[in-house]
Chains A and B, each alone.
Chain A
Amino acid sequence: MTTPLAHYLILAALLFSIGLAGALARRNAVLVLIGLELMLNAANLNFIAFWRFGPHPERLTGVMFVLFSIAIAAAEAALGLALVIAIYRHRRTAQVDRFDSLKG
């Protein structure tokens, strides 16, 4: 009747991969954050999909998880952007590969 679960999962995996590629490859800290958001949403999509195709779709557990996750992701994005701005002010750049002061 409807699209099977695998399609959703493939979509989520694609989304995750794009986000991961962005997070790994981009130099700009803001774009890295965007990549992170993509990966997070891929996870959310999986939640929804597994809930919808799970044994108890009538209980709204998946939606609840995702709602919380989105709220946390918003907070996380705000925090991440604040960090990026703080680093930018400190270093006058937002290029992630220039930040290497955590090395031993």
Chain B
Amino acid sequence: MESIIKYLWLIPAAPLLAAGISALLPRRRRRLSAGLAIGAISLSLLLSCAAFVATFHSGPVTNNFRWFDFGSTSVQLGWVLDPLGAIMAVMVALVSLLIFIYSLGYMAKDPNFTRFFCFLALFAAAMLGLVLANSLLLFFMCWELVGLASYLLIGFWFQKPSAAAAAKKAFIVTRIGDLGFLVGMLLLYATTGTLLFYDHGQGCLEPTAAGGLVASTTIALLIFCGAVGKSGQLPLHVWLPDAMEGPTPVSALIHAATMVAAGVFLIARVYPLMTLDAKQVVAWVGALTAVFAASIAVAQNDIKRILAYSTVSQLGYMMMGLGAGGVAVGMFHLTTHAFFKALLFLGAGSVIHGCHEEQDIRKMGGLRLRLPVTFATYAVGMMALCGVPLFFSGFWSKDAILDSFDREHWLGSQAPFYLGLFGAFLTAFYMTRQVCRVFFGKPNTPEAEHAHESPPVMTIPLVILAGLAVVAGFFGTPAWPWFQAYLTGRQAGFDLSKLMEGHALMVMLFSTGLVTVAIVWSGWIYGRAASRPARETDPLQAAQPALFACLQKKFYVDEFYDATVVRLTAAFAKFSDWLDRVVLGGLVRAVCWLVLALARLDRNVDESVVNEGFDVGSETVRDSGRWVSRLQNGQVQRYLRVIGLAFCALLLLLLWGSR
């Protein structure tokens, strides 16, 4: 434990180094770049596993160091190894490794392969740094770095205007949240005087800190703003679906499994700062986001966009779990979601790859026979996401969230609970719709007809992730809550009877019923629709055109922002432009004109008065010099003559003077 903490910095440093080297490599060194990135992330994974094992034996350990001093205060950064960070580090490194390998196949034909791996490694470094940071400041730096990596990767195909716009949108929208985060951080520093999480009893998360634990709703909510931006919660969720313009491995790694979960991780990290009111807000925002995004996902036709809204909705669940149930509940869903959502995205990537870059689910169909491995693994991911009982991880983690709205623990309103149930219903509904559209029925286009399975380098990560998506759930069942116990530092006991306890059982049965109804209903609607080829109108659209249109337009949120915030900003920019051009520019021009006029006057004075005067003076001096120089003509005798005359004159003067 003591030794591993000294080498903890290597976990983020290894991929960072790989990114640095890749950045300098010429474009054709594809193998070297990919090899570096994969080697570095493997090293990080090994170290993370070692760190993870080390956390079994002792509590959190830290390694703080001084960054710089100013005046009498010094800014400290540091690394921390505790269960929360360790499990997240292992998850991030593992998913990153699988996605890196998958990218070998997916990006094989891209001319900018080297750059892609450079960015991926940079992202992995920043994310691992974020996970292991022991200072809110270091956390924030890594937080911004993952934002940068996300920006670079969304805009990876920057030739596409939509990708460039999506990258900008993601960067700007998350910046709004980050502003809140920054202000919250400054407030926290102002009240506690430290940004270290753990510092031998002096950190800002420790109840024994000098000023006591600061539990301020303001600070908590400001920090939550950052999480809202990064994790795509209402009302800053708009960037996440657009971020799907990036390559699919990026969507899987950054915009599904890891980076967007950083917001959830942030709340889990600073959980001691969360007051009761703040938790209420977190739970409400999460619940609203969950239902809001899930309902939009029902009406989307782009395979990745559906998954994107699903991600937003699942992030809402995580927030809900954090608000209502605590760190363990939220983090459990984060972990399981990372596995099955990465799986779904990679599966979607495999489908897109197989169908020659087609992303519209209406133009697919019947792919289960042509992409058998992808279909099997996708089905596992879909069932995990829907929460199909007992064997799939999503079931356990989602029920843990819903179960935390137990009346004994949760004192607030029960509305988020019902929203969560409704969200679960919608989730099962849209995932069934998608799977029916993509994999069942008959192929709707020639591309789908000639689809081909992806190479093993892409399918093997899918299989591994499918295995994880199943297995991960068993670590957090009510009967054996190992995950929750690990995070809270208790011993987990195996007790089957916990499964049968009142609230938990009721929630499980209820959600199982809802999910079954949703899958059957959706399967019935879309199973029939899929067998009718190339049908353009959705069955739901036929039944409820107005509602469907509203959902398809994403509740007009983008349009609303365009009409309000964007237009206001544009108007303000135009006003500023006018101010700059007319008022300030005019002022500058007036000053300029004044100076020019003065200069012209000055020149005239100089030329007519000063120059003339000098000319005349100089000529006088020159003439007089010419006249005087005639005295000295070199004729010695004339000099003598002058002397003689002068002598005579002197003599006469003396003679007269003496008289």
Residue ranges of A at the interface with B (Cβ–Cβ < 8 Å): 20, 23-25, 32, 96-97, 99-104
Contacts and interface: CB of A to CB of B under 8 A. Distances in A.
Q: Which of B629, B632, B637, B644 has the most CB of A within 10 A?
A: B637
28 contacts: A20-B644, A23-B637, A24-B637, A24-B640, A24-B641, A24-B644, A25-B637, A32-B637, A96-B635, A96-B636, A97-B635, A97-B637, A99-B634, A99-B635, A99-B636, A100-B633, A100-B634, A100-B635, A101-B634, A102-B632, A102-B634, A102-B636, A103-B629, A103-B632, A103-B633, A103-B634, A103-B635, A104-B632
Contacts of A24: 637, 640-641, 644
B639 to A, nearest CB: 9
Given A24-B640, A96-B635, A96-B637, 18 more contacts: A20-B644, A23-B640, A24-B637, A25-B637, A32-B637, A97-B635, A97-B637, A99-B634, A99-B636, A100-B634, A102-B634, A102-B636, A103-B629, A103-B632, A103-B634, A103-B635, A104-B629, A104-B632
Interface of B: 629, 632-637, 640-641, 644
Nearest to A25: B637
A43 to B, nearest CB: 13
Contacts of B634: 99-103
A23 B644 CA distance: 11
B652 to A, nearest CB: 15
A102 B629 CA distance: 12
Contacts of B633: 100, 103
Contacts of B641: 24
Contacts of A23: 637, 640
A24 B640 CA distance: 7
B641 to A, nearest CB: 5
A25 B641 CA distance: 9
Contacts of B644: 20, 24
A25 B636 CA distance: 11
A32 B641 CA distance: 13
A84 B640 CA distance: 17
Contacts of A101: 634
The 5 closest A-B pairs by CB, nearest first: A100-B634, A103-B634, A102-B634, A104-B632, A103-B633
A37 B340 CA distance: 132
A24 B637 CA distance: 5
A68 B75 CA distance: 99
Nearest to A23: B640
Contacts of A20: 644
Contacts of B637: 23-25, 32, 96-97
A33 to B, nearest CB: 12
B280 to A, nearest CB: 106
A103 B632 CA distance: 5
A97 B635 CA distance: 6
A24 B636 CA distance: 9
Contacts of A104: 629, 632
A100 B634 CA distance: 4
A104 B632 CA distance: 6
A36 B521 CA distance: 146
B629 to A, nearest CB: 5
Contacts of A99: 634-636
A23 B641 CA distance: 9
Contacts of A97: 635, 637
A99 B637 CA distance: 10
Contacts of B629: 103-104
Nearest to B632: A104
B651 to A, nearest CB: 11
A6 to B, nearest CB: 16
